[in-house]
């Protein structure tokens, strides 16, 4: 009798380009290798774990202490936070879809040689226990010399609903103290380290301590300048009014069982969001798409 992995490989595998294995029992992962790039995507959470354009160093960061278990979030890659971002009392942190198994809906090699995966999840009894709305959520991942993530929320119910959301991107950087983020100058932000105090950015974002900020009302690209590594990463976005910038620094890192000591030096989250006051209302029968386009410059 074929296993779920056999079925995935038979239905969606692309010889020499796309195959599936398990990161742990019950945790299927798609592995992509093309002349343009390599990548891996976990079906739990529709979470892109790795992406490396050919000839470049890895772009996405995953902790050496990350936990690969059914129902557990993975520290790194690009978790999908939905239908809320952050903490809601009595509910799962960052929503419920990042620890659910998504359905693979499609896999193809497009004309430019990119692999396009479509993963989806809909409402059921379990989701209604957290959030009582009818929905269809689909993530389209396009893996090439750039990485494009398009998260489409469809309201399949009869009442409007409101969401916050994020493509919670963990990036590799060579040394956080020599890393800056450009594109947010003069933006207003809520500083979680200061109990969400309202602040305004002046110049590039720099890092000397724990940083956890929701930049609001911004549609600009973010340019991550990795001075020690000699490269820049760009995150362009669509359908997004917020950008979150996060590094836990040393004290916060010590509270995280799924992060190894000192790893904060080599990681930075720059997240494509609609968060804080930038919630999105979707009418019955309506849809919204959040897009992040990641490239190496």
Q: Residue 89 pairs with which residues in a beta bridge?
A: none
- Nearest alpha carbon to residue 153 among 130, 131, 134, 170: 134
Q: What pLDDT score was predicted for residue 16?
A: 95
Q: Give the distance, in angstroms, between the CA of residue 23 and the centroid of all CA atoms in the same chain.
A: 18
Task: Give the integer Cα–Cα distance in Å for 175 and 273.
Answer: 25
Q: What pLDDT score was predicted for residue 3?
A: 75
Q: What pLDDT score was predicted for residue 234?
A: 98
Peptide bond into 79 cis (omega under 30): no
Sequence-ordered list of residues with C-beta below 8 angstroms from that of 52, at least 6 positions apart, any chain: 37, 38, 39, 58, 59
Task: Give the integer Cα–Cα distance in Å for 47 and 168.
Answer: 10
Question: Cα angle vertex 103, ends 98, 104, to 5°?
Answer: 115
Q: What is the DSSP letter of 102?
A: P
Instruction: Dig out the tokens for 100 from the structure.
Output: 């659910």
Residues of the chain with pLDDT under 50: none
Q: What Cα–Cα distance (Å) separates residue 146 from each residue in 40, 54, 115, 212, 233?
A: 14, 10, 11, 26, 10
Which residue numbers are catalytic?
168, 271
What is the pTM assigned to this prediction?
0.97
Q: Give the distance, in angstroms, between the CA of residue 180 and the centroid of all CA atoms in the same chain.
A: 20
- pLDDT per residue over 36-88, tens digit each? 999 999 999 999 999 999 999 999 999 999 999 999 999 999 999 999 999 99
């Amino acid at each position: 009798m074929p296993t779920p992995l056999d079925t995935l490989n038979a239905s969606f595998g692309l010889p020499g380009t796309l195959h599936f294995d398990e990161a742990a029992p019950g945790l299927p992962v798609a592995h992509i290798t093309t002349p343009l790039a390599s990548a891996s995507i976990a079906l739990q959470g529709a979470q892109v774990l790795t992406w490396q354009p050919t000839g470049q160093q890895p772009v996405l960061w995953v902790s050496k202490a990350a936990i690969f278990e059914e129902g557990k979030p993975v520290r790194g890659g690009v978790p999908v936070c939905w239908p809320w971002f952050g903490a809601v009392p009595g509910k799962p942190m960052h929503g419920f879809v990042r620890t659910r198994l998504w359905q693979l809906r499609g896999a193809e090699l497009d004309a430019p040689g990119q692999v396009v995966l479509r993963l989806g999840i809909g409402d059921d009894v379990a989701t209604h226990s957290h959030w009582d709305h009818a929905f269809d959520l689909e993530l389209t991942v396009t893996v090439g010399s750039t990485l494009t993530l398009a998260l489409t929320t469809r309201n399949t119910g009869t009442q409007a609903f409101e969401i916050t959301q994020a493509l919670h991107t963990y990036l590799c950087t060579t040394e956080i103290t020599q890393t800056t983020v450009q594109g947010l100058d003069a933006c207003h932000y809520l500083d979680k380290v200061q109990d969400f105090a309202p602040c305004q950015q002046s110049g590039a974002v720099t890092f000397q301590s724990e940083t956890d900020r929701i930049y609001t009302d911004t549609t600009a690209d973010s340019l991550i300048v990795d001075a020690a590594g000699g490269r820049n990463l760009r995150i362009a976005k669509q359908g997004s009014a917020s950008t979150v910038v996060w590094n836990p620094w040393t004290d916060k890192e010590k509270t995280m069982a799924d992060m190894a000591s000192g790893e904060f030096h080599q990681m930075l989250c720059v997240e494509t969001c609609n968060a804080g006051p930038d919630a999105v209302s979707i009418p019955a029968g309506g849809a919204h798409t959040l897009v992040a386009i990641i490239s190496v410059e």
